[in-house]
């Protein structure tokens, strides 16, 4: 039997009618018999095209407020019969079951209904039963049946039946079946996640993935699964790479810590901040951030917590950078930034980030809640005789926000709303501190009167000893070591102020 089949009959039962009309007209033009239900049936009739109501086949009306329409042996027999199976062929004749070659379905919008904040009763009513069953039946029998499971596939179907005069190949039908099983599994996953309260069960389905040029290195394949267009409007530049996306993610998380602060600008490289400053204007903040480490800023990702104006754009334009991110731009600023052909310019939208973070580990996944704690004045407990000044408190919190978003082990130095330097990703906290001191000296920064943040406690007083020698006058750390008193005593003996937050901020 030929694997190329001509569509002679179609069952159409859809939620979304967008894009359906040209398909219906093309099928009618090709003398395809149309079967339908409810609103879709009315839609086809209003086009002046003949349509057979499903109840004429089943001899049974829609019941239970439309909950049961297509669930009938004469419908599913027409979809599931094997045309090369003699027993199936005989039963089709015996029970007067019509052949159904094409099934077009678009499910009730369950996810949109949940997202709208609808009542549970309305949400339950948007759990599609007949449609999902039709999808599974058509996809299972792709050898003989074409299944179109979503409005997203309408155009593909129209192109196919137009170009091939209503015929489909086995390869065509397998492709539609694959897409259909994706639709059904995604739909069921969304329903499960709505009901699920067991945190030890994890299901995730992301429908909109994209292929990247490559992964972290050119020999690795790379993909992004997520709705990038919901988070950003990309107004200029080349396609983002795997590494760009990692840096953008780090930048978004970091600048979120300063969302309600004054004008703040950050520059990131390899997921860590190499420059960050808060000032009265965003231009001043950018220049101060750049001065933190102009060497590392080359080829970095830049992000602002407020609109980028012309003055700032003109300064940015002097630097080679991969990505610029801001919630808004002056028109003149965009014109200047677009002068570099490949520079990626993103407008960040207000989008809620996932509440959990997921990463591969061994032969499975590690999942954790997002670190939503940002240290503030209310969290601080002064544990030394010397209390931090008002400016030191501001700098301690400033440094802590950066520290939270920097790879562990980390030490961050800050002064007057400016990142002075940091030690990142070191195997010991002492190494991180030494790195931060050396870096500050390399760029000519005076650490006298600066504040220091650590992402975890000090098990020994060596860190505060080194900090004191470097000129640090105030320290913020989570506390919690059984040897906290050693560091506290050293600070008391040497007039250092130290505060505990009670919250560790490891980032691996």
Both tokens of 58, joined, read 């089943």
Among 65-74, 107-116, 203-212, 342-351, the range of highest mean pLDDT: 342-351
For the chain, how many structural domains are there in total?
A: 3
Radius of gyration of the chain (CA): 31
Structure confidence at residue 54 (pLDDT): 85
Nearest to 178, CA basis, from 149, 151, 157, 206: 149
Q: What average pLDDT does range 82-88 have in this prediction? A: 87
> pTM, whole model, 2 decimals?
0.86
205: confidence class by pLDDT, cuts 50, 70, 90: confident
Quickly tell me which residue has 């049936």 as its tokens.
Answer: 41
- Taken in order 398, 404, 407, 408, the sign of the CA dihedral is positive
Average pLDDT of the segment spanning 477-502: 96
Residue 64: predicted pLDDT? 78
- If asked whether residues 39 and 147 sit together in one domain, one would say yes
In a shared domain, residues 382 and 449: yes
Average pLDDT over residues 485-507: 97
183 and 240 housed in the same domain? no
What pLDDT score does 84 carry? 86
Q: Say yes or no to pLDDT of 89 above 90.
A: no
- With respect to residue 164, please indicate whether it lies within any of the assigned structural domains: yes
Question: Residue 295 and residue 310: Cα distance in Å, rounded?
Answer: 24
410 in Cβ contact with 432 (< 8 Å): yes
Q: Answer yes or no: is 355 within a domain.
A: no
- The verdict on residue 356 lying in a domain is no
Q: Using one digit for the tens of pLDDT, what is the confidence trace for 234-253? A: 999 999 999 999 999 999 99
Return the structure tokens found at 103.
Answer: 């099934």
Enumerate residues 6+ apart whose C-beta is below 8 A from 109: 15, 126
Q: Specify the pLDDT at position 1.
A: 52
Query: Domain holding 84: CATH number?
Result: 3.40.50.1380
Residue 20 lies in a domain: yes
pLDDT of residue 275: 97
Residues 421 and 473 in one domain: yes
Sign of torsion over alpha carbons 161, 162, 163, 165: positive
Mapped onto helix, strand or coil, the DSSP state of residue 228 is: helix
What percent of the chain shows pLDDT beyond 70?
A: 99
Q: Is residue 317 predicted with pLDDT exceeding 80?
A: yes
Taking alpha carbons only, the member of 229, 193, 222, 188 closest to residue 208 is: 229
User: Per-residue pLDDT for 155 more than 70?
Assistant: yes
The reported pLDDT for the residue numbered 463 is: 96
Q: 39-48, 57-66, 272-281, 417-426: lowest mean pLDDT where?
A: 57-66
- Predicted pLDDT of residue 148: 96
Residues identified as active-site: 140, 270
425 within domain boundaries? yes
Tokens of 457: 């406690």
Q: What is the band of 508 on the pLDDT scale with cuts at 50, 70, 90?
A: very high
In a shared domain, residues 175 and 62:
yes
Out of 195, 212, 247, pick the residue that ends a domain: 195
How would you class 227 by CB atoms within 10 Å of its CB: exposed for 0-12, middle for 13-18, buried for 19 or more?
exposed
Same domain for 165 and 34: yes
Closest CA to 324 of 255, 389, 278, 259: 255
Domain containing 33 equals 4-195
Give yes or no for a contact between 70 and 37, defined as CB atoms under 8 angstroms apart: yes
Query: What CATH number corresponds to the domain at position 277?
Result: 3.40.140.20
Q: Which residue has the higher pLDDT, 208 or 48?
A: 48
What does each C-alpha distance from 187 to 11, 32, 105, 203 come to in angstroms?
21, 30, 13, 12
Domain assignment present for residue 78? The answer is yes
pLDDT at residue 37 above 90? no
Q: Residue 288 domain-assigned?
A: yes
Residues 64 and 173 in one domain: yes
Task: Please indicate, yes or no, whether residues 142 and 254 belong to a single structural domain of this protein.
Answer: no
- Which of 303, 223, 312, 227 shows the shortest CA–CA distance to 258? 303
Last residue of a domain, one of 328, 348, 368: 348
Only one residue has tokens 């870096």, namely 439
Cβ atoms of 393 and 380 within 8 Å: the answer is: yes
Residue-wise pLDDT for 437-467, tens only, equals 999 999 999 999 999 999 999 999 999 999 9
- The yes-or-no verdict on residue 71 having pLDDT over 80 is no
Out of 305, 329, 348, a domain closes at 348
| 115 CB burial (10 A radius; 0-12, 13-18, 19+) | exposed
Find the angle CA(41)-CA(44)-CA(48) to the nearest 5 degrees: 130
Quote the percentage of the chain above a pLDDT of 90.
Answer: 83
Residue 214 maps to a domain: no
Phi-psi region of 99 (alpha: psi -120 to 50; beta: other; left: phi over 0): beta
pLDDT over threshold 70, residue 170: yes
Q: Are 260 and 326 contained in the same domain?
A: yes
Question: What's the confidence (pLDDT) of residue 70?
Answer: 74
Position 2 scores a pLDDT of: 67
In the predicted model, is pLDDT for residue 483 greater than 70?
yes
How deeply is 31 buried, as exposed, middle or buried, from its count of CB atoms within 10 A (0-12, 13-18, 19+)? exposed
Widest pairwise Cα distance in the chain: 98
Same domain, 106 and 177: yes
Q: What are the distances in angstroms from CA 218 to CA 214, 221, 237?
A: 5, 8, 20
Domain shared by 52 and 133, yes or no? yes
315 lies in the same domain as 238 = yes
């Amino acid at each position: 039997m030929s694997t190329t089949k001509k569509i002679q009959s179609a069952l159409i039962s859809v939620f979304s009618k967008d894009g359906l009309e040209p398909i219906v007209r093309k099928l009618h033009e090709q003398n395809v018999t149309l079967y339908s239900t409810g609103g879709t049936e009315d839609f086809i009739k209003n086009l002046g095209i003949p349509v057979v109501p499903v109840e004429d086949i089943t001899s049974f009306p829609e019941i239970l407020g439309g909950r049961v329409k297509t669930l009938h042996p004469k419908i599913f027999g027409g979809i599931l019969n094997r045309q090369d199976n003699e027993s199936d062929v005989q039963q089709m004749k015996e029970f007067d079951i019509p052949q159904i070659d094409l099934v077009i379905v678009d499910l009730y919008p369950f996810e949109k209904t949940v997202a709208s904040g609808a009542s549970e009763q309305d949400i339950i009513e948007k759990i599609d039963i007949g449609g999902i069953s039709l999808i599974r039946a058509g996809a299972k029998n792709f050898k003989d049946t074409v299944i179109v499971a979503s409005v997203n596939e309408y155009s593909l179907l129209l192109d196919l039946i137009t170009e091939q005069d209503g015929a489909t190949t086995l390869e065509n039908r397998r492709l539609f079946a694959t897409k259909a099983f994706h639709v059904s599994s995604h739909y069921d996953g969304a329903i499960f996640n709505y009901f699920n309260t067991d945190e030890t069960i994890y299901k995730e389905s992301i429908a909109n993935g994209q292929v990247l040029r490559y992964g972290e290195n050119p020999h690795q394949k790379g993909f992004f699964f997520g709705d990038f267009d919901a988070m950003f409007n990309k107004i200029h530049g080349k396609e983002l790479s795997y590494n760009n996306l990692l840096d953008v993610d780090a930048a978004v998380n970091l600048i979120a810590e300063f969302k309600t602060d004054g004008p703040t600008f950050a520059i990131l490289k390899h997921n860590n901040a190499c420059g960050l400053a808060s000032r009265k204007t965003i231009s001043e903040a950018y220049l101060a951030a750049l001065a933190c480490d102009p060497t590392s800023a080359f080829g970095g990702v830049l992000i602002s917590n407020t609109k980028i104006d012309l003055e700032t754009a003109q300064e940015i334009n002097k630097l080679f950078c991969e990505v610029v991110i801001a919630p808004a731009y002056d028109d003149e600023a965009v014109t200047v930034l677009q002068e570099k052909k490949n520079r990626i310019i993103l407008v960040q939208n207000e989008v809620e980030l996932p509440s959990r973070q997921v990463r591969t580990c061994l032969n499975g996944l590690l999942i954790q809640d997002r670190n939503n704690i940002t240290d503030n004045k209310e969290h601080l407990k002064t544990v030394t005789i010397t209390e931090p000044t008002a400016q030191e408190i501001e700098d301690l919190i400033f440094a802590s926000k950066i520290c939270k978003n920097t790879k562990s082990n980390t030490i961050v130095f800050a002064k007057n709303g400016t990142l002075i330097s940091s030690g990142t990703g070191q195997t010991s906290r002492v190494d991180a501190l030494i790195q931060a001191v050396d870096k500050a000296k390399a760029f000519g920064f005076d650490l006298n009167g600066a504040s220091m943040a650590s992402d975890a406690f000090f098990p020994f007083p060596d860190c505060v000893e080194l900090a004191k020698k470097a000129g640090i006058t105030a320290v913020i750390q989570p506390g919690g070591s059984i040897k906290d008193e050693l560091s506290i005593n050293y600070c008391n003996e040497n007039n250092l102020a130290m505060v505990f937050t009670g919250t560790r901020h490891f980032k691996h």
